[in-house]
Amino acid sequence: MKITEHLKNAKSTLFSFEILPPLKGQSLKELLEGIAPLMDFKPPFVDVTYHREEFIYKKHPHGLLEKISTKKRPGTVGICAAIMNRFQVDAVPHLLCGGFNKEETENALIDLNFIGVENVLALRGDAPKTEGRFVPENGGHHFASELVEQIIRMNQGKYLHEETETSFHTDFCVGVAGYPEKHFEAPSMKFDLKYLKEKVEKGAEYIVTQMFFDNEKYFKFVEDVRAAGITVPIIPGIKPITTIGQITMLPRTFFLDLPDALMDELEKCKTNGEVKEVGIEWAIQQCKELVAADVPSLHFYTMSKADATYKIAKEVF
């Protein structure tokens, strides 16, 4: 079922979450068993992230550098199939511009359609850690709006190297990302919303937000999105802080603010266990307020670890 249909049919706020493909060497069984407890809250869909190939440069004694692939995560397509088969829920794979050309994207979409996936989340993706800015692949997309456009064209039976439309077409529901605190590359929120509207006009049917810790940022974002003429559902993304390191890592990595009230409590913590307790309690209160505001779904960024999300959901749903 399409995400838009799940949201339309829901009588109350839904529960959903995102997982990462496991590192190479870890089993699919471990992944599935790890997220199994979250099925208690009847998620209608589960997102599965995608990762571009990453490289390191090894210096040899003669001074030359060798480019070595360090991509260590198995395929998203197979994980989606396993989740759908095991739990009878819809899997939502992420598709990236970064690291993939149009042909590779088309092939991935054909594979996803073949196994019965009906939803995808279209993202530009970030630059590799070794590069300072995003550079598209040769023959790839520069922006998520272009990726959305390719997906919609396939829904219409239009393929890259076909002269005319074919009878074989996909039927994907396309989601995109939104940023309550602005995408860090956008010059202003006004222009960020302009780019978001372009993705919707190209065919995106729902928005999932970046994580945030201040609900007022989400509510203001929704207000501004609606004022810009965007009417599609906006799903808030939630992540509890669970370690001391995340207190500085999350703002630095995702370009977001932690509320003063939250920081006041986190500063009192001496251990990861204390931080996790504060982070979970903050997320519980955050989620209760969002549910009271009748948001479409609470979408949790779990990092494939179920325990914190389980504790939150148990108090909210």
> Which residues are part of the catalytic machinery?
18
Pair 88, 36: CB distance under 8 Å: no
DSSP assignment letter at 163: S
CA dist list (Å): 109 to 22, 93, 102, 205, 271:
21, 10, 10, 17, 44
Pairing, β 173-178 against β 206-211:
parallel
* List of E strands, 21-133: 45-48, 55-59, 65-69, 90-96, 119-123
Helices marked H in the chain: 3-9, 28-35, 76-87, 102-114, 144-155, 189-202, 215-227, 246-254, 260-266, 272-292, 306-316
d(CA 290, CA 204): 23
